[in-house]
A and B are shown apart, each in its own frame.
Chain A
Amino acid sequence: EVQLVESGGDLVQPGGSLRLSCAASGFTFSDHHMDWVRQAPGKGLEWVARVRTKVRSYSTEYAASVKDRFTVSRDDSKNSLYLQMNSLKTEDTGLYFCARDNNKYSHDYWGQGTLVTVSS
């Protein structure tokens, strides 16, 4: 069974840092591009970042709103995805999901999300 389990969400002050993790199981993690998607309270879905597979040199993409502040990475030996978030802003508050790209231009498995709250 495919499972994605996020962790690391917390309450943090503006300007602070946080590292999210996503533990994957039930599939060959190294074969899939992986993404972070977030959802502010009561709002829609917003794509945050992507890390591609080793075949694609672990290349990354970012939303403009997080570029130069967030860093996405992966450790295929640990079947894990990460999101390092620096210089956090109040508008970064939300539920952060990790999602698996199914190699068909869509996300077929999602975690349950981890809550990040940026507030003083």
Chain B
Amino acid sequence: IQLTQSPSSLSASVGDRVTITCRASQGINNYLAWYQQKPGKAPKLLIYFASTLQSGVPSRFSGSGSGTDFTLSISSLQPEDFATYYCKQLNGYPITFGQGTRLEIK
């Protein structure tokens, strides 16, 4: 199952609302997760089951979608949100990640 994220990179300002999309090549039963990764660090789980917020993750992060089309939204960007974001499916093997979306400060 291929996951295609868009955009590949994004420039935004603190306080902006941003949306990242992830499209699967076939239905994945909402077994989709979103991760944030900062340089030199391990990925951090943000959202699982497409829309469930992981404990401890700020509520400005939200996920939505079903079937093959999913989105990650950040309602009001904070300085610590500038990072790379990945979607990942665990509906079938091999487990696959999107190619990543690099969120940069404008």
A46 at the interface (CB under 8 A from B): yes
Assembled-state Cα–Cα distance A46/B48 (Å):
18
The answer to whether B33 and A107 touch across the interface, beta carbons within 8 angstroms, is yes
The answer to whether A44 and B86 touch across the interface, beta carbons within 8 angstroms, is yes
A2 at the interface (CB under 8 A from B): no
The answer to whether A35 and B95 touch across the interface, beta carbons within 8 angstroms, is yes
Encode A38-68 as 1/0 by CB contact (under 8 A) with B.
0000001111001000000000011110000
Assembled-state Cα–Cα distance A50/B44 (Å):
19
Q: Is the interface of A mostly helix, strand, loop or mixed?
A: strand
Assembled-state Cα–Cα distance A46/B44 (Å):
15
Which B residues, 5 to 28, have Cβ-Cβ distances below 8 Å to chain A?
none
Knowing A44-B86, A45-B86, A97-B42, the reply to whether A108 touches B54 (Cβ < 8 A) is yes
Assembled-state Cα–Cα distance A97/B42 (Å):
8
Assembled-state Cα–Cα distance A113/B86 (Å):
17
Selected contact of B88 from candidates A62, A64, A106, CB within 8 Å: A106
Knowing A44-B86, A45-B43, A105-B33, the reply to whether A63 touches B97 (Cβ < 8 A) is no
Q: Beyond the given A97-B42, A107-B43, please list 4 additional residue pairs across the A-B interface where CB-CB is below 8 A.
A: A35-B95, A37-B43, A106-B48, A112-B42
What is the interface of chain B, defined by CB distance below 8 A to chain A? 31, 33, 35, 37, 41-45, 48-49, 52, 54, 86, 88, 90-91, 93-100
6 A-B pairs closest in CB distance:
A110-B42, A106-B33, A106-B48, A47-B95, A105-B90, A105-B31
